[in-house]
Structure 1
Amino acid sequence: MTILSKDAPAEISHPAHPEHKLKLTAAGAAEFQCDVCKELGAGDRYMCRPCDFDLHSDCALAEATLAHPLLKGRELQLRYGDDGGRTCGACGGKVLGLHYHCAAKKGMDLHPCCAALPLAIPQEELTLELRKEASHRCSSCRERGRGRTWFYRSTCKTVYLHVACVREIARRSRAAGDGSSTDPFASVKDAALQIYRAKRDESELERVILELVLGG
């Protein structure tokens, strides 16, 4: 779910695969599993075709340290391996490989792809802003904080989406073969807009939510 910079190098060397250089490859909407963080991904990636090695661009280009705007005063270190039983503070998913870790008192772990999520997803009628927590139910799954994982909240405070639900909406869109847009958040924007407009009609809102939950 990353929009690569035009300055992204066409070829890199990476310590996770020192045998060969990795080439930036346009792969459409086909899903793959990153061989370093073990998370699913889609779209452009760094690859070694002879070795069938795939790497998220976010993992390939991850800096050794991270200062995230939502984690002021904390510095996260890039680590390899799962360290056992850790979860991502943004999406709540298990940490299975490469991740950012903060050893501060409360601790924090982030998948590189979650660490790279945009702080805002703008569109014409409403903008979604990334927040560490929200008191409302998620507009998609209808659950509350999920262990205080991160949310996207619309600036008008009518749409709330877990980061995990944002990722799932995008994944379902890819699985359905909706690759018409180059914007990885197009399906998320569409879902948020449907929820926003349906807020005026409870029966319509329930229909939209049911479609999001069931992937219909």
Structure 2
Amino acid sequence: MKLVKLIANLGYGSRKDVSQMFRAGRITDPDGEVLYADDVVPHESIRIDDEPLDPAAGLILMLNKPLAVTCSRKDPGRVVYDLLPPRYNVRTPVLSSVGRLDRDTTGLLLFTDDGALLHRIISPKAQVSKVYEATLAQDLRGDEAELFASGTLLLESEKEPLAPAILEVLGPRHALLTVTEGRYHQVRRMFGATGNHVETLQRIAVGGLTLGELPLGEWRVLNTDEISLIFSGNP
């Protein structure tokens, strides 16, 4: 792929914009030598204004989503894409969230421009686990773990019972819940079915990938080993 098209696809501007960047000498190699549009160089050897080029197509990144941010491209309020560099919103292929977290849920949210990888993660057949940490309005009854693990819990307006889920009690009103599905507001509705209400909810892991020390509202690109973790650590 020609450098002009490559850089334009990464969202740095139109092909005309990128051509002007070449003419201005803004695109160089790591040693500061000016590159030209017809040069053939490795992706990792391209610099724009002395900064490394963004990752190529096949990107997957993780974000620690804060409260009051919507998993949407169009919303009257703040959206998750506002937390990424503006050029990430105009990359080709498009960068999409892998599933969603509701406005009042924080934590681990993945993005990718690899459609096949996205569908592999969210496919019910993959059974990629998601771990949520919840604080509740009322004390747990004591039978929730058995109910959630039974595979018989039928949520209101649903026709199929939920797949078995794992509840780990951390305190009277504090628990971890591991699910392998992604139904609408699933965790909140599961606790709601027991007469309880979720006050705070954070997703802390997807498969074997955890938030780690990633600060709230920050993001980073995943490496190959971390991507593999997504498909490990499942129940």
TM category, shorter: under 0.3
Q: TM-score, normalised by structure 1?
A: 0.27
Bigger relative contact order (CA 8 A; separation at least 6): 2
Q: TM-score, normalised by structure 2?
A: 0.25
